[in-house]
Amino acid sequence: MQVERSALLQDRKNEVMISVQNVSKHFGQIKALDQISFEVKCGEILGFLGPNGAGKTTAMRILTGFFPPTSGKVWIDGREFFKDPRQAKRTIGYLPETLNLYPDMRVREFLKFVAELRQVAGKKRRSHLDEILSRCGLWNVKHRLIGFLSKGYRQRVGLAQALIGDPSVVILDEPTSGLDPKQIIEIRSLIRELGRERTLILSTHILPEVSMVCDRVLIINQGKVVASGTVDELEAGLKEQHQIYVAIGDIGKKEDALNLLHSLEGAEQICITDEKAQEVGFSLIVPKGLDLRPIISRLFVEHQIPLLEIRSARLSLEEIFMKIVVDETRSGAAL
Ligand SMILES: Nc1ncnc2c1ncn2[C@@H]1O[C@H](COP(=O)(O)OP(=O)(O)O)[C@@H](O)[C@H]1O
Ligand SMILES: [Mg+2]
């Protein structure tokens, strides 16, 4: 099945699997989603990245048919979702934010129950379940009671149930939240593996996760898509800015150094990044083409501040994320 599906995906590689157009969702006064649009191609792993309350779960609930949008349209595999939600739902596997598993059921028994609900044909059911159990690393615990499994294993059961019926789209809401670091690594590699054979959307508020797992990222904030692209594209998009890191060797001169940095035209987001013993590190963001390093070194010499290091660095995804989210929140607050 795996081989067949990979071949199928190769054929459809550039086809649009999910299309979301101008979707809004309001809860009374709250605009949980405000005119979002995006597309996901066959075989892509898309990450929804955003702080808590951004609208990620709401977007996923619409994509899984949990509720319809207030306005806007969704197409899954060429079909308009809310015209035929039953058919569309068959294409989608979903791991919700909080999944209620039955603690008194055994792993295989539970997955069999889900397979029956999803009407997986009796003949195929056995081999389908066996394949999912081994793919998700559950083979050795298939007869255990779900209630006695660790959180990491319960999450695997959650992933396994999302795969029953072999959906071509899988949606995972914060799949690593609440897991310990070892479990996180295991679940991420399982997700990457699953993403080879299907279209996958996952949400996270953890930055490194998107660069480790996703092909493309949609940054969501306050119900809006504020940026999208591959990690490289997002970083390149903000190439018009870069960061300068400055370190001094006298903690007594910290305030003087800060004042000097603040006096520089074009310098933004000046902050102290690290302090140890006598050393203090600062970072500032400057527009591309403006190299403040010569001025900084001259000013520091004039003010007898011992300069240990000065370098220019590209912004990391984390800084981009902070910048986009903080800027958007500020402009929103100003309105
Ligand atoms: N059923 C609901 N009723 C009222 N408000 C809701 C409901 N679901 C979500 N919201 C609100 O919508 C916004 C987005 O929430 P959510 O989609 O859960 O964000 P995220 O998953 O990114 O943390 C939040 O302000 C949240 O309080
Ligand atoms: Mg959520």
127-177 pLDDT per residue, tens: 999 999 998 999 999 999 999 999 889 999 999 999 999 999 999 999 988
Long-range contacts of 107-110 (CB under 8 A, 24+ apart): 107/133, 107/138, 107/141, 107/142, 107/143, 107/144, 107/146, 107/149, 107/157, 107/160, 108/133, 108/142, 108/143, 110/146, 110/157, 110/161
CATH code for 2-236?
Answer: 3.40.50.300
Q: How far is CA 122 from CA 165, 215, 266, in A?
A: 12, 36, 68
For residue 225, list its beta bridge partners.
Answer: 220
The letter for the amino acid at 166 is D
Tokens encoding 62? 């619409």
Cβ 150 vs Cβ 101: under 8 Å: no
Residue 221 Cα to ligand 1 midpoint, Å, equals 12
- CATH topology for 240-313 is Alpha-Beta Plaits (3.30.70)
Q: In the prediction, which pLDDT does 287 show? A: 82
Residue-level pLDDT at 240: 64
- Give the list of residues 6+ apart from residue 140 with CB closer than 8 angstroms, or none: none
pLDDT-based confidence at 335, cuts 50/70/90?
very low
| pLDDT of 239 above 70 | no
* Helical ranges in the chain per DSSP H: 2-12, 56-63, 85-90, 107-117, 122-135, 151-163, 181-195, 207-213, 231-237, 254-262, 293-302, 317-334
Q: What is the mean predicted confidence (pLDDT) over 88-99?
A: 88
d(CA 286, CA 179): 38
27 lines ligand 1 (CB under 6 A): yes
Pick from 59-63, 105-109, 159-163, 316-320: least confident: 316-320
54 within ligand 1 shell (Cβ under 6 A): yes
Our CA dihedral for 114, 118, 123, 125, rounded to 10 degrees, sits at -30
pLDDT for res 95? 94
Residue 327 has pLDDT above 60, yes or no: no
**Which amino acid residue places its CA nearest to atom 27 of ligand 1?**
53
Identify the residue with better confidence: 254 or 212.
Answer: 254
Contacts of 217 (CB under 8 A, 6+ apart): 46, 47, 49, 210, 227, 228, 229, 230, 231, 234
- CA 79 centroid distance within chain: 26
pLDDT at 83 over 90: no
Query: In terms of residues, how long is the chain?
Result: 335
Q: Is 55 in the pocket of ligand 1 (CB under 6 A)?
A: yes
Q: Which ligand is nearest to the CA of 34?
A: 1
Residue from 84, 82, 44 nearest 63 by CA: 82
List the shell of residues around ion ligand 2, using CB closer than 5 Å: 56-57
- Computed on alpha carbons and rounded to an integer, the radius of gyration of the chain in Å comes to 24
Does ligand 1 have an atom closer than 6 angstroms to the CB of 52?
Answer: yes
Tell me whether strands 92-95 and 268-276 are parallel, antiparallel or unpaired: unpaired
User: Which residues of the chain does CATH 3.40.50.300 include?
Assistant: 2-236
**Percent of the chain with pLDDT strictly greater than 70:** 89
Residue 152 CB neighbours (<10 A): 17
Q: Answer whether 293's CB lies under 8 Å from 243's CB.
A: no
Starting at the earlier edge strand, list the strands of the sheet with 45-49: 92-95, 169-173, 199-204, 45-49, 216-221, 224-229
Instruction: Dump pLDDT digits (tens) for 96-133.
Output: 988 888 999 999 999 999 999 888 888 889 999 999 99
- CATH 3.30.70.3190 domain range(s) in the chain: 240-313
Give which of 172, 201, 33, 37 is closest to 95, Cα–Cα.
Answer: 172
Tens-digit pLDDT profile for residues 263-297 = 999 888 888 888 888 999 998 888 877 889 999 99
The mean predicted confidence, pLDDT, of the chain is 87
Percent of all residues in the chain with a pLDDT value above 90, rounded to a whole number: 52
Q: Is the pLDDT of residue 227 over 50?
A: yes
> With contact defined as beta carbons under 8 Å apart, do 36 and 20 qualify?
yes
Residue 174 CA to ligand 2 centre (angstroms): 7
Ligand 1: does its nearest atom lie under 6 Å from the Cβ of 30? Answer: yes
Q: 236 near 302, Cβ under 8 Å?
A: no
- Residue 209, pLDDT score: 83
User: pLDDT: is 288 or 34 the higher one?
Assistant: 34
What is the band of 28 on the pLDDT scale with cuts at 50, 70, 90? very high
**CB atoms inside a 10 Å sphere around CB 60:** 22
Binned at pLDDT 50, 70 and 90, residue 334 comes out as very low
Among all ligands shown, which has an atom nearest to the Cα of 54?
A: 1
Quick check: pTM over 0.95? Answer: no
For residues 27 and 77, which has the higher predicted lDDT (pLDDT)?
27
Q: How confident is the model at residue 333 (pLDDT cuts 50, 70, 90)?
A: very low
